[in-house]
Amino acid sequence: MSSPPNVSSGQGQDGSLLRSSDAPDPTQSRLPVTTDDTSTGGDRQASLWSDAWRQLRRNPIFIVASMLLLVLAVMAAFPQLFTNTDPRSCDLANSRGGPGTNGAWFGYDLQGCDYYANVIYGARVSMTIGVFVVGSSLFIGVVLGALAGFYGGWFDSLMSRITDIFFGLPLILGAILLLNAFTGERGTFQVGLALIAFGWMTILRLLRSSVISVKAADYVQAARALGANDWRIITTHILPNAIAPVLVYATILIGGVIAAEATLSFLGIGLQLPAISWGLQINGARNFVRTSPYLLLIPSAFLSATVLCFIMLGDALRDALDPKLR
């Protein structure tokens, strides 16, 4: 008689026959437990910024620069908290009165205006132009740089040639040429546009190179395999992991833009009276360096401190965001 089809010829450890229903099926295998590979990019991003913030909180350079910039920002936004004097209230009888004259901490300028009030209100123009120019340059550079780095091809080549053309003119020289084209009043908006026109190229180049290196990462390929569209891949997986060097450069660029605005105003190409800015104050003091040096030293000190704070802040961000420098 033939053996039952459900009984195997093998034996168990107790000597009993094994049935085919009890034996493991070799045709069946365990499927590996899979996870969402796209979480790798988010975990990496969270780890990068959390580690950077942890290091920044222990960096005295970052703390000092941040505190000084906070004071300057409050000074620019609410100058009335620092002085009750109208900066345009002038008396020629006080012309070039030294520090301490009639209770004026910084003395009086050539027109007899309170110099302390003018320096305080001058922070508003400098900070406004710095933030406006860098913010606009960031928008242009990030959008065009992300598209050029992600898609490549003819658009990348076109952006490269356009940036080469703009790089041919230095920032100050290009701004001078552009501002001379304005026939009307040259105010904060006009000076800002001239600096934006020649300040976005480096941001585009930095982000383009970062996007090219990041888009080949495994978590980006996993997101593409899962059906994520280009917009989601760029904004969620690429930009958060490619923006760090751009932020470092943008922080330092704010100081450079403030210095550039002061240079243009000092040369008589930038802001015009009755605007109040540190560059105009330095311009008005150039003929009185020997007789009234405070007219030059005080706004120059505020300008240098502001630029130095942004440079120090950018250096601290660079050290915190670059693992090789930790």
Q: What CATH code is carried by the domain that includes residue 130?
A: 1.10.3720.10
**Stretch 169-197: mean pLDDT, rounded?**
86
Instruction: Indicate the pTM of the whole model.
Output: 0.78
Residue 91 lies in a domain: no
Provide the pLDDT for residue 107.
Answer: 84
Assigned token pair, 241: 């992991």
Domain-located, residue 89: no
Percent of the chain with pLDDT over 90: 30
Average pLDDT over residues 77-105: 84
Which carries the bigger pLDDT value, residue 206 or residue 47? 206
Q: Note whether residue 24 is domain-resident.
A: no
Check if the beta carbon of residue 191 is closer than 8 Å to that of residue 264: yes
Query: Phi/psi of residue 131, each to 5°?
Result: -70, -40
For β-strands 7-11 and 17-19, DSSP reports them as: antiparallel
Distance, in Å, from the CA atom of 113 to the CA atom of 257, rounded to the nearest integer, reads: 27
Q: CA-CA distance, 320 to 326, in Å (whole number)? A: 7
* Mean pLDDT confidence for 104-127: 88
Residue 140 and residue 132: Cα distance in Å, rounded? 12
Whether 42 is in a domain gets the answer no
| Dihedral, 163, 169, 171, 173 alpha carbons, nearest 10 | -160
In this prediction, residues 243-267 reach a mean pLDDT of 90
In a domain, 194, yes or no: yes
Q: Is position 272 within any domain? A: yes
pLDDT band for position 145 (cuts 50, 70, 90):
very high
Residue 72: strand, helix, or coil: helix
Give the DSSP H or E segment for 17: strand 17-19
Once rounded to an integer, what is the mean pLDDT over residues 241-246? 86
Contact (Cβ atoms closer than 8 angstroms) between residue 33 and residue 48: no
pLDDT value for 326: 54
Cα separation, 225 vs 37, whole angstroms? 10
- Helix, strand or coil for residue 10? strand
Domain count, the chain: 1
Q: Confirm whether 160 is domain-assigned.
A: yes
- Identify the helix (H) or strand (E) that includes residue 48: helix 39-57
> In this predicted structure, what is the pLDDT of residue 272?
84
The domain of 186 spans: 112-326
Cα gap 270→188, rounded to integer Å: 9
Q: Is the pLDDT of residue 116 over 80?
A: yes
Percentage of residues in the chain having pLDDT higher than 70: 83
Residue-wise over 253-270: b if at least 16 C-beta within 10 A, else e?
bbbbbbbbbbbbbbeebb
User: Does residue 61 form part of some domain?
Assistant: no
